[in-house]
Structure 1
Amino acid sequence: MDAYLLLDFGSTYTKLTAVDIENEEILASAKDITTIEDDIMTGFDKAYKKLEEQLEGKDVNFVKKLACSSAAGGLKMVALGLVPDLTAEAAKRAALGAGARVLKVYSYEITNYEAEEIKNSDVDIILLAGGTNGGNKQCVIHNAKMIVKHNIDVPVVVAGNKVANDEIREILEEAGVYFSVTENVMPTLNSLNVEPAREEIRKVFMDKITDAKGLNNAESFVNGILMPTPAAVLKAARVLSEGSDEEEGIGDLIVVDIGGATTDIHSIADGEPTKAGVNMRGLEEPFAKRTVEGDLGMRYSAVSLWEAGGSRKLRNYLGDKKREINIEECCKYRYENIKMVPKNDEEIKFDEAMAKVATELALERHAGHIENVYTPMGVVFNQMGKDLMKVKYMIGTGGVLVHSKNPGDILNAGTFKKEDPTSLKPQEPEFLLDKSYILSAMGLLAHDHPDKAVRIMKKYLVNV
């Protein structure tokens, strides 16, 4: 039978999924530790042997092998823009939507100190934006010159004021900097245009970054490393929501991805006000939005999760009214033992309490909120961010959710609560679970077969 082999070279695990294309079934899946320090194919080979054992006796012909990757820290970017809440924020959103981890966002003309900071950071791509089309061009040109002046040898994606592009091309070409130019992320005030920049970032990732990450050994085996893993998850979420040419989507949805280092939230919804009399304010929100909370994780970020949520919030989820559990000590132990697997009910309960805090805070930051403004004409209600109250589905993925006996309770922590009436978190969503870890794989499959990807997700996402 003809099949696709879909690979995710993750930061911790390399995950393989074999898909029967004709029957739209998952034939097998396997994983092993990612070995980026030595040879990434060592971990792959171990996972592949496990996959072969599951496929024994089946006549499988892999007609295509596609991969995504978040190995070696994933795709790391810095974004440069003009005004912090406008073009700089637009650049950040474009980078996040491309599957990047944004190390820092710089506004206005960068200083020598900031240029050196960028140079000494472990950045993979610089997203150079700034100015609406026909507006300020001095800032983005200055920042291009600073990249050259400080010999920052990093690929640059230019997505700013189009009037400045000719001069920026000359600056970067003369210095021998690898760059590409695409459409402005904010062509007019408060309007977003992030898709062209996202696609350009993906191309640069494929052309340049995979070799730098030591993934060139894998490229001889696969047909292509198409995108960073978070971008694959976002693509899967979008095609599942919107549907494809032949297959209807399921509507607005949110993906909650809880990992060891971060909690990622993906929302696929226009986010327009669902209540009458509410006015939109602030920067336009992308239909497909991703946020990354680097302080909310189960292991690498366990201590910062405790600091962000506080002991009382964790105790509330633990039901620890007598304060018998040392919250700080438990979080520090997980931070110091990142490969810890909970072995008893007490450890499982603590992990799930952490996951609830991560879900609650991550959705709080991702979703919009209502502001009450008092005017001579009375109270005016302004919406900042996306209204997600009517979102139909919340989909959970990540180890703590997949292995939980009560994943719905974890996801429920991210829903609307009367105690926080200004929040626009989902009100009554249906909970689904990515039990088979297929979202990133389906994002890859959707590149060639979107219809099949949608149908497989509908089949394998479990209702909880």
Structure 2
Amino acid sequence: MRINVLVAEIGSTTTVVNAFDGIFSSCPTFVGQGQAPTTVLEGDVNIGLKGAIESLRKNIGASKIEYDELLATSSAAGGLRMTVHGLVYDMTVRAAKEAALGAGANIHQITAGRLRKSDLKKLVAIRPNIILLAGGVDYGERDTALYNAELIAELGLEIPIIYAGNIENHDDIRYIFEGTNTRLYIVENVYPKIDQLNIEPTRRVIQKVFEEHITNAPGMRKVREMVTGNIIPTPGAVMVASKLLYNEIGDLITVDVGGATTDVHSVTEGSDEINRMLISPEPLAKRTVEGDLGVYVNMKNVIERLGIDKLSDKLDVNEEIVLDLMSNYKPIPETELEKRFVEELTLEAVITAVKRHCGRFRHLYGPNGKKTIAEGKDLTNVKYIIGTGGALTRLPNRVEILKKIALSNKGNELLPTKEAKILIDNDYIMASLGVLSKKYPEAAIKLLKESLNIN
């Protein structure tokens, strides 16, 4: 059987391959899916890729699979580890952070102002894949970014550096890293003027650097032997798909509950009324990663938030049964009780993650009385709430879980309203379609709408 495009999602533990055909026609189709363990530890990811393709072959009943192209997303080899260093946290640092998260990075260190010895020690221990340097609006403060660049250059880490700060520093930054083994990328300022974010140029470069990094990471050296197109971070691919869909249907959020993290991607400008009240700008596309909220690896964190007594009441069982569920927990729930157990964990992860992502109203009191301001991301104009990831595409009550986002509002939170429509990525292909859209945007949007049951 000949297939147009395979898209591999190479995770830390599992490699999933999705097959798409008819890419050049008006009716592209999702053919099927296969999966196998990721073989990073064996030193050759191709083993896992070939295993996933073999799994796909069996699932679709083909005697043989041939393909024209293979694209990929990856979170293997620890995903994309980044550190971010800027000037003022609420300004250049936050802008740089938004750029990194939106590109699919996992941020391991954030610093504001001049780097201290303790910061440098942590940086060396983290061994990030990329270091992002920012600081100063254009033609504003220059010294902090240059000071930090000099300290990082002296470390001799041979880690790619992206500079996205004050435009006046470009020549000095080049001089600082001249003669080192550091690959330097200079992009437009992420915060060129007060209250102005410019994060897309940095996002694009981060994904470019990631693709170069991932092919050289341990266990990933041979990935290019099979992959013929783009490789982007899996969370970044979900953001790409969300932005593509936004251009078609309007303001949305995508919630991805995984075993280790819960990611929230929002693409919305918010309402004009609330924008006038915002104390600092927010990007059109925003991603947050909650590293303590997962329904498998981080299950215990979520249960601690809920409390075993409360969880047992919700499940209508005694605490001993809850403890038994915890000790015999499976990655994929099988019994009715196991599914209800995971649904309660998923609900807690969803509500907590979205509330951390959204903004809220604050009341300030002064000589002229009370003044209401808004801070953070405004989700009140969101028309669609999309569920992706294993939990929100497979659990029986996934739609009801997402409906409870609006119902959880305590009155001061800028959450979606009850009018927001729930959409489910039924084929669980949103990340794959994000990378597919880089080359075939029309086919990707058609396949995405089909998976979400959008007419």
- Shorter-chain TM-score: which interval? over 0.9
Equivalent position of 1:246 in the other structure: none
Question: Residues 24-423 of structure 1 correspond to what in structure 2 (within 5 A)?
Answer: 24-38=28-42, 39-56=44-61, 62-242=67-247, 249-273=248-272, 279-311=276-308, 314=311, 318=314, 320=316, 324-325=318-319, 329=323, 333=327, 340-418=331-409, 420-423=410-413
Structure 1 residue 373: deviation in Å? 2.1
**Could you tell me how far apart the structure 2 residues matched to 1:340 and 1:315 are?**
20
Amino acid across the alignment from 1:262: T
**Could you tell me how far apart the structure 2 residues matched to 1:53 and 1:332 are?**
33
**Could you tell me how far apart the structure 1 residues matched to 2:60 and 2:183 are?**
43
Determine if contact 2:315/2:341 at 8 Å carries over to the other structure: no
Deviations 1:77-126 (A, max 9, x none): 01001111111111111100110011120111111221121011141111
Amino acid across the alignment from 1:325: E
Unaligned runs of 5+ in 2: none
**Could you tell me how far apart the structure 1 residues matched to 2:402 and 2:355 are?**
13
Deviations 1:126-177 (A, max 9, x none): 1111111111111111111111222223111111111112111111122221
From the superposition, tell whether residues 178 and 346 of structure 1 become closer, same or farther in structure 2 (CA, over 3 Å): same
Determine if contact 2:34/2:57 at 8 Å carries over to the other structure: no
Amino acid across the alignment from 1:355: T
Cα RMSD (Å) of the superposition? 2.3
Most deviating of 230-239 and 83-92: 83-92
* SS at 2:90 equivalent: coil
Deviations 1:225-271 (A, max 9, x none): 431111111001110111xxxxxx11111111000110000011112
Determine if contact 1:80/1:129 at 8 Å carries over to the other structure: yes
**Could you tell me how far apart the structure 2 residues matched to 1:37 and 1:232 are?**
24
Equivalent position of 2:6 in the other structure: 5
Determine if contact 1:306/1:328 at 8 Å carries over to the other structure: no
Determine if contact 2:361/2:373 at 8 Å carries over to the other structure: yes
Structure 1 residue 345: deviation in Å? 2.3
Equivalent position of 2:20 in the other structure: 19
Q: How many residues in Structure 1 have an aligned counterpart in Structure 2?
A: 448
Structure 1 residue 224: deviation in Å? 3.0
* SS at 2:319 equivalent: coil
Deviations 1:46-90 (A, max 9, x none): 111122234545997522211110112210101001111111111
Determine if contact 1:7/1:17 at 8 Å carries over to the other structure: yes
* SS at 2:422 equivalent: strand
Amino acid across the alignment from 1:437: Y
Determine if contact 1:273/1:383 at 8 Å carries over to the other structure: no
TM-score, length basis structure 1: 0.90
Determine if contact 1:272/1:386 at 8 Å carries over to the other structure: no
TM-score, length basis structure 2: 0.92
